[in-house]
Amino acid sequence: MDQAWLGIDLGGTNTRLGLVDESGLLARERFATQAPLGPGPWLENLQAAAAELLAQGPRPAAVGVASPGIIERPQGIILNSPNLPAWRDFPLAREVGRALGLPALVENDANCYALGEHRFGAGAGRDLACFTLGTGVGGGLIIGGRVVVGPLGTGGELGHTLAVSGGRLCGCGARGCVEAYASATGLKGLIREAHEQGRPTALERGAGVNRLTQAAESGDELALELLAQAGRALGRAFANVAAFTGLDLIIIGGGVSAAWPLMAPAAHEEMCDRLRLVDPQRMEIRRSQLGDDAPLMGAAAMVRDNPL
Ligand SMILES: [Zn+2]
């Protein structure tokens, strides 16, 4: 029988599950996470969804879970996740393993995203750095075909590299992170600050990224400026990735990446300005191919690579 693995993406809003084999995704299911209810009801919903899924294909050898937040490895405990406050210190790997009767591993969702794109998506097997532009800016580094986390566990946290010295306050507590400029939260904050300063714009108070993109497309100066600023923050991060790792492939994903075409010119310009050690034309920037399937496919790939 063909080998298969189960991948789970525990999101703040939805949980997605997929049955994955060497060729890719065989079947998928999803249910509402209902994060405030905490992990108990979630585990019950997970069992039901997994039963549906497992009826559709081969029995998986193990389950990989993509989780937001800071993970204690290798135990797979959620130490802290802003989107899942009721899950603090929850032993996710152990409890998912028990609920499904499968060996389980947990990894950060952005790292799983990067691994999914590397194995099944836009990475096409090449080493890469991945930026997921969503509520925050997640990052993942795949080097030698493996996720890099390092002894601190913070490897690949590309959203918390410095974009602007002394800049905006980031959710992590530091100032000037890429996330403070290129995430949905960062951009919303920038729109609010522009309103407070009385900047002329077609953007309403409380506008989000979809509105920002629309306004930029119809030529709103502030909207164009904010997306260019986000692009410059990313361009600096791309140049840093090149200097730290020598990687030449960057994948951009996440909901905010729908606005990538409006950020790309400033990102390229900034990257070329910062990256003088090699010809910046050698850096390749691609959009995600897997989208919302990337984290669960990467989580499944992770347990394939690390037999439990
Ligand atoms: Zn930060």
pLDDT of residue 82: 80
CA distance 173 to 180: 10
Q: How far is the CA of 24 from the centre of ligand 1 (A)?
A: 33
Alpha helices in the chain (DSSP H): 39-54, 92-100, 109-120, 179-182, 184-196, 209-217, 221-245, 260-274, 294-305
CA distance 3 to 118: 20
Q: How far is the CA of 160 from the centre of ligand 1 (A)?
A: 4
Q: How far is the CA of 56 from the centre of ligand 1 (A)?
A: 41
Pairing, β 249-253 against β 284-287: parallel
The CATH number of domain 5-115+292-305, selected from 3.30.70.270, 3.90.1150.10, 3.30.420.40, 1.10.760.10: 3.30.420.40
Q: Do domains 5-115+292-305 and 125-288 have the same CATH topology?
A: yes
Query: What is the widest separation between alpha-carbon atoms in the chain?
Result: 65
One pLDDT digit (tens) per residue for the chain, 308 residues: 579 999 999 999 999 999 999 999 999 999 999 999 999 999 999 999 999 999 988 999 999 999 998 899 999 999 988 888 899 999 999 999 999 999 999 999 999 999 999 999 999 999 999 999 999 999 999 999 999 999 999 999 999 999 999 999 999 999 999 999 999 999 999 999 999 999 999 999 899 999 999 999 999 999 999 999 999 999 999 999 999 999 999 999 999 999 999 999 999 999 999 999 999 999 999 999 999 999 999 999 999 998 87
What counts of helices (H) and strands (E) characterise the chain?
9, 12
| Sequence spans of domains, the chain | 5-115+292-305, 125-288
Is residue 180 within 8 Å of residue 189, measured between CB atoms? yes
Burial of 135 (0-12, 13-18, 19+ CB in 10 A): buried
Strand order in the sheet with 5-10: 24-32, 14-21, 5-10, 63-67, 104-108
The CATH number of domain 125-288, selected from 3.30.565.10, 3.30.420.40, 3.30.470.20, 1.10.10.10: 3.30.420.40
Q: How far is the CA of 111 from the centre of ligand 1 (A)?
A: 17
Q: How far is the CA of 194 from the centre of ligand 1 (A)?
A: 21
**Cα–chain-centroid distance for residue 233?**
17
Residue 73 CB coordination number (10 Å): 13
List residues, by chain if needed, whose CB lies under 5 Å from ion ligand 1.
160, 170, 172, 174, 177
Q: How far is the CA of 171 from the centre of ligand 1 (A)?
A: 6
